[in-house]
Amino acid sequence: MNQRTLLITLTGPDRPGVTSRLFSVLAAFPVVVADVEQVVIRGRLTLGILLAYSGATPSGTGGTLGALWTAVERTAGDLGMEVELSTGSDLQEKRRRGRLHVTVLGAPLRPAAMAGITGRIAAAGANIDRIERLSHYPVTCIELAVSGADPGALRAELAVEAHAQRVDVAVQRSGLHRRAKRLIVMDVDSTLIQAEVIELLAAHAGCLEEVARVTEEAMRGEIDFAESLRRRVALLEGLPQETLEKVRGELVLTPGARTLVRTLKRLDYRFAIVSGGFTQLTDALVESLGIDYSAANTLEIVDGVLTGRVVGEIVDRPGKARALERFAREADIPISQTVAIGDGANDLDMIAAAGLGIAFNAKPVVRQAADTAVNVPYLDSILYLLGIPRAEVEAADAEDGVTSAGE
């Protein structure tokens, strides 16, 4: 007989015995376990069980497929959890046209924007199953649970509407794929901080205009980053080492940066930075923010002055992707559970390699390549793309005695 499959996805508050109870219910039916996947994040469980069976329906002492579904649904109700079932005949289509999360960010978020977005969802033949507000400050974030849409097609349609309405929209698959992101890897210059470090150094060296011109060419992908770095660093030759300390004092975090890192760390995420800048400056960020992993270039200093050269392997576009892969190995986290965030062309490889690539106030080439783009000026807005509500931010703030949001 033909082998068929059945996928059960259970989500809700974690508690002892949930997995055991579900398998006890399934034991009454002539099915076999083909695969199991489970993740718990801050007390919320997502459990996926793939079953295999022969024949038209899994019949036996427990009855038909309908009886199995009734038993599973009743158990989920008793546990206060949500359950979804997909049969073998529609699993492939469910994978292509499954449940999605559509996240809308606006500052402000106007009714016309929601009208346009929900209209596009309806026009795609999809259904909005649930609407929930994740945040009202510093941006308004609304999340829609959508079913029956092709992810690629819906993402393209909503990108057009988002541009027209001047809001940010992200489309992601629901379930374990989204909930299991565990490692965040972020660019530094113009992402974690509000400036390009080499330009701050160049201002002290009196060569800002020339360095800024080369930086822009590199960020647009017009010249090779490694070559552009060498050209810019060469202009810093003779700069006193003490200037690095002055520039460290000039670094300004992007609004929401501390909130983002603090909240993710509280939720047991790993956080990393990877920079085309310099360790002499990024090391201070690592220490002050409690960052887990970092990679950056190192300026050569001899007799207290910059030589105009870097030492060691250059962290360029492919180097950033290699760093992401190295961080994932060290954290024992699959690449599919990583998030990469950047704004320039040298971030493209790590954005492509990560499970989720986010363009943050990025150049057009990066916005086009990333899975989603954030154009509001608040870095903590990225939390909402991960399904983390404002309540978690406030809980992290309270633990650290923080009273102002958007830090």
pLDDT attached to residue 237:
96
pLDDT attached to residue 287:
95
Contacts 24+ apart (CB under 8 A), 17-24: 18/45, 18/47, 18/79, 18/81, 19/47, 21/75, 21/79, 22/47, 22/49, 22/72, 22/75, 23/49
| 187: annotated active-site residue | yes
pLDDT attached to residue 178:
58
Which residue out of 78, 90, 129, 187 is catalytically annotated? 187
| 349: annotated active-site residue | no
User: What tens-digit pLDDT sequence spans the chain (407 residues)?
Assistant: 466 788 898 888 888 889 999 999 999 888 888 888 887 777 788 888 888 887 655 544 444 677 888 899 999 989 988 888 776 554 444 444 568 889 999 999 999 999 999 999 999 989 888 888 889 888 999 999 898 888 889 999 999 999 999 999 999 887 655 556 689 999 999 999 999 999 999 999 999 999 989 888 877 778 888 889 999 999 999 999 999 999 999 999 999 999 999 999 998 899 999 999 999 999 999 999 999 999 999 999 999 999 999 999 899 999 999 999 999 999 988 898 899 999 998 999 999 999 999 999 998 889 989 988 999 999 999 999 888 888 888 888 888 776 544 56
Buried b / exposed e over 237-275, threshold 16 CB at 10 Å, is eebeeebbeebbeebebbbbbbbbbbbbbbbebbbbbbb
pLDDT attached to residue 283:
96
Task: Give the whole-angstrom CA distance, residue 128 versus residue 100.
Answer: 10
Predicted TM-score (pTM) of the model is 0.74
Q: What is the 3-state secondary structure of the chain?
A: CCEEEEEEEEEEECCCCHHHHHHHHHCCCCCEEEEEEEEEECCEEEEEEEEEEECCCCCCCCCCHHHHHHHHHHHHHHHCCEEEEEEHHHHHHHHHCCCEEEEEEECCCCHHHHHHHHHHHHHCCCEEEEEEEEECCCCEEEEEEEECCCHHHHHHHHHHHHHHHCCEEEEEECCHHHHCCCEEEECHHHHHECCCHHHHHHHHHCCHHHHHHHHHHHHCCCCCHHHHHHHHHHCCCCCECHHHHHHHHHCCECCCHHHHHHHHHHCCCEEEEEEEEEHHHHHHHHHHHCCCEEEEEEEEEECCEEEEEEECCCCCHHHHHHHHHHHHHHHCCCHHHEEEEECCHHHHHHHHHCCEEEEECCCHHHHHHCCEEECCCCHHHHHHHCCCCHHHHHHHHHHCCCCCCCC
Which residue out of 168, 189, 316, 347 is catalytically annotated? 189
Please report the domains of the chain, with CATH numbers, ordered by start residue: 3-95 (3.30.70.260), 97-179 (3.30.70.260), 183-399 (3.40.50.1000)
Residues 6+ apart with CB under 8 A from 17: none
